Amino acid sequence: MSRRIVGPFNRVEGDLEVTLDIESGRVRAAFVNSPMYRGFEQILAGKHPLDALVFVPRICGICSVAQSAASAQALAQSMGIQPPQNGRLAANLTLAAENLADHLSHFYLFFMPDFARDGYRDRAWFTDVQARFKAVTGSATADVLPVRAKFMNVMGYLAGRWPHTLSLQPGGSSRPLEEAEKLRLKILLAEFRAFLENTLFGDSLEAVAALDSEAALYAWMEPRAQRADFPRFLNIARDIGLQHMGRATDRFISYGAYSDGTAPLFAAGVWAEEILHKLDIGAIREDVTRSWMAGDAALAPHEGRTQPDPDKADAYSWCKAPRLSGKVVETGALARQMVAGHPLVRDMVNLHGASVTARIVGRMLEFALVLPAMETWLRQILPGDTYCLPSHELEDARGIGLIEAARGALGHWLDVRNGRIHNYQIIAPTTWNFSPRDAVGEPGALEQALVGLEAEEGGDAAPLQVQHVVRSFDPCMVCTVH
Amino acid sequence: MSDVATPLNLLWLQSGGCGGCTLSLLNADCRNLVDTLRSFGINLLWHPSLSEQSADEARRIFEMCASGETRLDILCLEGAVLKGPFGSGGFHRTTGNESMMHLLERLAGVARHTVAVGSCAAFGGVTAAGINPADACGMQYDIDEQGGLLGEDYRAGDGLPVINIAGCPTHPNWVMETLVAIAQGEMYESNLDVYRRPRLYADHLVHHGCKRNEFYEFKASAHKPSDLGCLMEHMGCKGTQVHADCNIRLWNGEGSCTRGGYACIACTEPGFEEPGHAFGITPKVAGIPIGLPTDMPKAWFVALAALSKSATPRRVKENAVADHQVVVPANKRTRLK
């Protein structure tokens, strides 16, 4: 057996290193290290509660709105206020725009370039895929960057700018839309829809959303494999067997996404042992046994502590290890759609378990499901109606903000005492997915997903299968540790 | 003066930050930024979000730059330098167990131009807020004091100190234009302001071009988020003091912070992360904001504010505390003079 340290991993957000124990050309064990610590939870202690809205988006440049939304929700709960309908719709639109832009960046810029690597030179699809997806120089980069930048102009109207907005407030949105701006947004959404339908899918969003089984998916792919990008991926995926790579625990968590005030567009819950369970937030604990963090008990987030201990024996990551009822769970677009009950991902996971392919399909489905919802929310906004309620000063209060970022379940636990932040604990999606081992030695979701993959003992670049599985989670390392 | 015949190698590294300046850069107003950079003779040697090379392949690029085998023309750092714990740099280690702090020192020693992208890399920024848990600093500044990782006397190969493209995040075109100026051999010390920010954006105030200017003129102020009025008196806005052109060039098409309905929190200024008051509440003495507009004598500000408040038209007064125009501008019945 040999040990290989693979890093730095690029085309993930932030810093990542993976240690692989390799035996007979396969990964026998993996240890995931989040190698950077900044200490936002320590920075937030003692601040005015509303100052959290300035700091938390700056945890992460790629999920900044998600961080804002979770904080605004935690503050609203502590203040006992509910945003008015316009505020809620504006917040949904802002978060959805970020989530879809993230899915787009992930697919085109972070994930697909690995199939244009020389290691795939002998595949029938290589020439086409290399011209399309080669990092930096492929035609897809040139196509997608301007489309993404244009789509992000919705943030100019909804959020002032992106990243790092302050428009998402506990009482709603600080950015009222005028009737004329609704029209401009409508046009931006239509342009983005056209790109998705023409270039990504080669079909209407509604047709993609209606795919209901793996068999239907591949049948749909066949005539499109040369002329649209998601079908191109499916063709590669089937050829190299990505549906058999990257299975973790097949337990999925989602906090539920895009509420209209009564029900979310995608339901909250836990999918485990092949059935849907109710989400019990009280069952979350953060274990720090193998983290460079002081303490040994696994604590509930409201009681959580963040005190670095860089010399801790046997620790190997700055990331804590969140567990639900003591168990490792996976979060992300696949988890969200599993919990929400989309028949396509339910079928794929039923057939093979979670995989690289299923995680990508989960994201692609969200383009097809969320953009039409955005079109509806925009229609429902009524200029002239209230966008935002005033905030209250807080003395002693607690609040929880639970939202779905592009990468999955994001939770903020706020404790205010004497008008100041006493404790602010954050569990980000990749904290769940890329956690280290816990007190009973159970590896985190990625650590489990890497076991069994092909890996040369020598070699130069990170093993290809390892790269696909790591990036299939769309990790955000700056959120992970924060 | 750079040699435009040979492409300039640009290496982009990230440390104690959020990656938001890169994500902002991807919104650059050009067909696509890689091609645009290339057309100005800039070769993106490696970037953490865009390049193919990972792991050992990427580390080899860093080492070839550090050894001089590959010429390092432009070193960009995004994110603060993390010196902790206890000066070890251990809060951010690169693979191979070297601290990022140490790798940056090695690379800055050979770079022809060194650029700090964002307020974290420039001054420490948000990463240095509160108790500054990771002992964060800028490349050549500790907040507003010269020093930082590289020290006051540091000069890159071209003779310039670290160029600070401050902002949290940076506007994509501040970065593009700075890089293009460097590539064209048009970046001199005289193009940098007192905090070594490129004057191409730092010679303006955020107030310039603010859509709320009519409300400002009459001191017709917003009281809560979503109100249309001026954000200076109650909502913590520092736009009249802050160096940046956010309301002239705008963000994401037609946006800016003040257009988004919230205060300018001075994110291009060193130390913005610790203003000494809640960000969204204007600090005042005897009802007068203590942060007066830049270049404005206090007595005049007080006198003019009192006068303009008493002269506020009904339209401006009522719209200031509403989230949509409750009174639209009147139409004059004669031809405008």
Residue B106 lies in a domain: yes
Q: How many domains does chain B have?
A: 2
Chain A residue numbers with beta carbons less than 8 Å from the beta carbon of B85 are: 308, 310
DSSP B322: S
DSSP reduced 3-state for A330: strand
Are both B184 and B294 inside the same structural domain?
no
Separation between Cα atoms, residue B334 and residue B24, nearest integer Å: 47
Pairing of strands B8-14, B74-78: parallel
Q: What angle do CA B183, B186, B191 make, to 5 degrees?
A: 125
Closest CA relative to residue B87, chosen from A310, A41, A42:
A310
Residue A13: left if φ>0, alpha if ψ -120 to 50, beta else—which one?
beta
- Strands annotated E in chain B: 8-14, 42-46, 74-78, 81-82, 113-117, 136-137, 141-142, 145-146, 163-165, 284-285, 288-289
pLDDT band at B29 (very low <50, low <70, confident <90, very high): confident
* Tens of pLDDT, residues A103-132: 999 999 999 999 999 999 999 999 999 999
Provide the whole-model pTM: 0.98
Q: Which residues of A touch B17 (CB under 8 A)?
A: 61, 478
User: Looking at the structure, do residues B174 and B309 belong to the same domain, yes or no?
Assistant: no
CATH H-level, domain A2-481: superfamily: Cytochrome-c3 Hydrogenase, chain B (1.10.645.10)
Answer with the one of B167, B185, B200 that is the final residue of a domain: B200
Among all residues of chain A, which has the CA nearest to that of B80?
A: A38
Domain assignment present for residue B66? The answer is yes
Model confidence at A444: pLDDT above 70: yes
State whether B47 and B190 are in the same domain.
yes
- pLDDT of the residue at B2: 43
Contacts of B280 in chain A (CB under 8 A): 50-51, 53, 166
| Listed residues B180, B200, B220: the one ending a domain | B200
A467 close contact with B: CB closer than 8 A: yes
Domain stop point among B137, B172, B200: B200
Q: Is A157 on the interface with B (CB under 8 A)?
A: yes
| CATH number of the structural domain spanning residue B78 | 3.40.50.700
Kindly state whether residues B164 and B211 are assigned to the same domain. no
Per-residue pLDDT at B267 exceeds 90? yes
Residues B107 and B181 reside in one and the same domain? yes
| CATH number of the domain within which B280 lies | 4.10.480.10
Alpha-carbon gap: B67 to the closest alpha carbon of chain A (Å): 19
* Domain assignment present for B265: yes
Give CA–CA dist A301/A298, Å, rounded: 9
- Asked if B27 and B118 sit in the same domain, the reply is yes
Tell me what the mean pLDDT of segment A152-158 comes to. 98
B183 plus B270 within the same structural domain: no
- Mean pLDDT, chain A, rounded, equals 97
Q: Are residues B313 and B246 in the same domain?
A: yes
Q: Is B220 exposed, middle or buried (0-12, 13-18, 19+ CB in 10 A)?
A: buried
Whether B55 sits inside 8 A of A462 (CB atoms) is yes
The Cα B191–Cα B202 span in angstroms is 10
Residue A47 carries which side chain, given as an amino acid letter? K
8 A C-beta contact, residue A362 and residue A333 = yes
Query: What single string gives the DSSP state of each residue in A106-161?
Result: IIIIIIGGGGGSGGGTTSTTHHHHHHHH-TTTSHHHHHHHHHHHHHTHHHHHHTSS
* A195 in Cβ contact with A168 (< 8 Å): no
Give residues with Cβ within 8 angstroms of A363, minimum separation 6: A103, A106, A107, A333, A334, A474
User: Which value, to the nearest 10 degrees, does the dihedral of the CA atoms of residues B78, B80, B86, B91 take?
Assistant: -50
Alpha-carbon span A52 to A299, nearest angstrom = 22
Best A161, A167, A382, A470 residue to mutate vs chain B (most B CBs within 10 Å): A161
* DSSP structural state of residue A277: E
* Partners of A188 in the β-ladder: none
Task: State mean pLDDT over A280-308.
Answer: 97
pLDDT higher than 90, residue A272: yes
Measure B117 CA to nearest chain A CA, in Å. Answer: 13
Mutation target vs A (from B15, B27, B45, B98; most A CBs, 10 A cutoff): B27
Q: How confident is the model at residue B1 (pLDDT cuts 50, 70, 90)?
A: very low
A112 contacts chain B (CB < 8 A)? no
pLDDT higher than threshold 60 for residue A39 = yes
A-B contacts at Cβ under 8 angstroms: 278
Domain that holds residue B154: 8-200
Looking at the fold, whether B172 and B286 belong to one and the same domain comes out as no
Q: What b/e readout covers A192-219, taking b as 16+ CB neighbours within 10 angstroms?
A: bbebbbebbbbbebeebbebeebeebbe
Q: What is the mean pLDDT of chain B?
A: 95
pLDDT at A261: 80
Cβ within 8 Å, pair A160-B250: no
Residue B53 to residue A9, Cβ atoms within 8 A = no
Q: Are residues B182 and B110 in the same domain?
A: yes
CB atoms within 10 A of CB A121: 10
Q: Is A11 on the interface with B (CB under 8 A)?
A: yes
The reported pLDDT for the residue numbered B101 is 98
The answer to whether position B3 is within a domain reads no
DSSP state of A169: E
Confidence of residue B34 (pLDDT cuts 50, 70, 90): confident
Identify all chain B residues contacting A7, using CB atoms and an 8 Å cutoff. Answer: 55, 94-95
- What pLDDT, on the 0 to 100 scale, is given for residue A462? 82
Number of Cβ atoms within 10 Å of the Cβ of A25: 11
Q: What is the pLDDT of residue A110?
A: 97
- Is position B1 within any domain? no
| pLDDT value for B3 | 45
Separation between Cα atoms, residue A137 and residue B50, nearest integer Å: 10
What's the count of helices (H) and strands (E) in chain A, helices before strands? Answer: 18, 15
For residue B56, give the nearest of A155, A160, A460 by CB distance. Answer: A460
Strands B113-117 and B74-78: parallel
Bond before A8 cis per omega within 30 degrees = yes
**B147 lies in the same domain as B261:** no
Enumerate residues 387 to 416 of chain A having a beta carbon within 8 A of any beta carbon in chain B.
387-391
Task: Scan residues 12-31 of A and list those with Cβ closer than 8 Å to B.
Answer: 13-15, 17
Regarding an ipTM greater than 0.90, the answer is yes
pLDDT, residue B95, reads 83
Return the residue in A9, A32, A38 with the most chain B beta carbons within 10 A, the one to mutate for interface testing: A38
Q: Are A38 and B16 within 8 A, CB to CB?
A: yes
- Same structural domain, B78 and B217: no
> Residue B281: left if φ>0, alpha if ψ -120 to 50, beta else—which one?
beta
* Residue of A116, A136, A176 with shortest CB distance to B50: A136
CA B159 to chain CA centroid, Å, is 23
For the cut 80, the answer to whether the pLDDT of residue A28 exceeds it is yes
Find the distance separating the first CA and the last CA of chain B, reported in whole Å: 53
* Amino acid letter, A289: T
Confidence at residue A357, expressed as pLDDT on a 0 to 100 scale: 98
Q: Has residue B33 got a pLDDT over 90?
A: no
CA A316 – CA A322 distance, rounded (Å): 15
Q: Which residues of A touch B35 (CB under 8 A)?
A: 142
Q: Is any Cβ of chain B less than 8 angstroms from the Cβ of A113?
A: yes
Inter-chain residue contact B226 with A478, CB threshold 8 Å: no
Distance between A347 CA and the closest CA of chain B, angstroms:
33
Q: How far apart are CA A32 and CA A20, in angstroms?
A: 9
Chain B nearest-CA distance from A12, in A, is: 7
Q: Which amino acid is at A154?
A: V
Listed by start position, the domains of chain A span 2-481
Beta-carbon separation of B126 and A43 below 8 A: yes
Q: Which of B16, B22, B256 is opposite residue A161, by nearest beta carbon?
A: B256
